[in-house]
Amino acid sequence: MLVLKTFALFVVTALAEIVGCYLPYLWLRKGGPLWLLIPAALSLALFAWLLTLHPAASGRVYAAYGGVYVASALVWLRLVDGVRLSALDWAGAGLALLGMAVIASGWQGQA
């Protein structure tokens, strides 16, 4: 159960980070309105706060989070940017998630 909660928290964390970076991208590269920077800043603040909710030392959290971020970014690429993912994209996401699982499996009993 802890694994599923941790994974879900990582996914929400990744979404907050991606949105926080995507909105300034829309402003800078796509001519979006300046007010997009406000929800972007709030989203990035949420991202930082969500990282503090994990039951492990910060370095372990950041390392494990990277795997979920990679997979989430590829899903974003498909759903938001409309880019079809290749077999290598899926393989890379799988490897990144496997790395996350290996790191997170060592959290029990450690800070």
pLDDT for residue 107 is more than 60: yes
Alpha helices, H only, the chain: 2-30, 37-51, 58-79, 87-105
pLDDT tens digits, 81-98: 999 999 999 999 999 999
What are the boundaries of each domain within the chain?
A: 2-105
CB-based contacts of 100, cutoff 8 Å, min separation 6: 10, 64, 65, 66, 67, 68
What pTM did the predictor assign? 0.86
- Rounded CA-CA distance 39/43 in Å is 6
Whether the predicted pLDDT of 111 surpasses 70: no
18: buried, middle or exposed (CB in 10 Å: 19+, 13-18, 0-12)? buried
pLDDT given for residue 93 in this prediction: 96
DSSP 36: G
CA distance 34 to 28: 9
Check residue 9 and give its pLDDT.
Answer: 92
Tokens of 66: 């990277």
- List pLDDT tens digits, range 22-67: 999 999 999 999 999 999 999 999 999 999 998 788 888 888 889 9
Per the CB < 8 A criterion, the answer to whether 71 and 93 are in contact is: yes
Q: Which amino acid is at 8?
A: A
